[in-house]
């Protein structure tokens, strides 16, 4: 005698094979779910109270790939907890090369090719009369003040801006900001080695 399970398995297999051979499209239950009416941008839609097809995202929605910066709006670098975030990237060759490319694109016009504050936009510090307390130019990344900053503090400056420098958060992605910092540290190391020469 054939068991009930065997009959069910055979009928299921027959149904699957019959659907594979069928020349007619399968039946649709609730076709409005599969073929919903499309709306053009800015088109009127009477189904909603504001009569528009555009929908606002829900409150608190975060765009894909966006990570809010937890220290946004802090002005004082010394008040950053633990001197800001830690650099998640290692100083390997690929990261340094990417950091150099981004630095030369976004930073060197003001900070100079070697980070000495003599970029083509800013010019020498005496011309702008913007010297820091130690006499170094304001935008010099090789100054004692800049060398004393943690990676998190430099990241904060790039993200939020400081003084005459505005925020670069919209131009430079977060990952590239960290790589720029790795390259800036190499510029500072180079300056330390060549300072007496």
What was the pLDDT predicted at 38? Answer: 77
Alpha-carbon radius of gyration of the chain:
30
Which fold would CATH assign to domain 99-196?
Cytochrome Bc1 Complex; Chain D, domain 2 (1.10.760)
Average pLDDT of the chain?
83
DSSP three-state, residue 51: coil
What was the pLDDT predicted at 127? Answer: 53
Answer whether 157's CB lies under 8 Å from 139's CB.
no
What are the residue ranges spanned by the domains of the chain? Answer: 99-196
CA-to-CA distance for 75 and 160, rounded, in angstroms? 8
- How distant, in Å, are the alpha carbons of 38, 82, 85 from that of 74? 45, 14, 13
Give the confidence band of 5 by pLDDT, cuts at 50, 70, 90: confident
What was the pLDDT predicted at 149? Answer: 93
Residues 145-193: pLDDT tens digits? 899 999 999 999 999 998 888 999 999 999 999 999 999 999 999 999 9
CA-to-CA distance for 83 and 113, rounded, in angstroms? 27
């Amino acid at each position: 005698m054939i068991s009930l399970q065997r009959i069910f398995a055979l009928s299921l297999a027959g149904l699957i094979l019959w659907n594979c051979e069928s020349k007619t499209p399968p039946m649709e239950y609730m076709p409005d779910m599969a073929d919903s009416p499309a709306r053009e941008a800015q088109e009127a839609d009477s189904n909603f109270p504001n009569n528009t097809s555009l929908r606002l995202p829900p409150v608190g929605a975060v765009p894909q790939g966006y990570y809010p910066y937890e220290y946004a709006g802090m002005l004082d670098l010394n008040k950053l907890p633990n001197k800001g975030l830690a650099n998640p990237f290692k100083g390997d060759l690929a990261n340094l090369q990417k950091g150099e490319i981004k630095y030369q694109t976004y930073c060197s016009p003001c900070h100079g090719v070697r980070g000495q504050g003599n970029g083509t936009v800013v010019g020498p510090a005496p011309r702008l009369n913007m010297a820091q307390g130690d006499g170094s130019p304001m935008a010099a990344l090789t100054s004692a003040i800049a060398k004393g900053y943690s990676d998190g503090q430099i990241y904060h400056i790039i993200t939020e801006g400081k003084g005459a420098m505005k925020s670069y958060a919209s131009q430079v992605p977060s990952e590239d900001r960290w790589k720029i910092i790795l390259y800036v540290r190499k510029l500072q190391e180079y300056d330390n080695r060549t300072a007496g020469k």
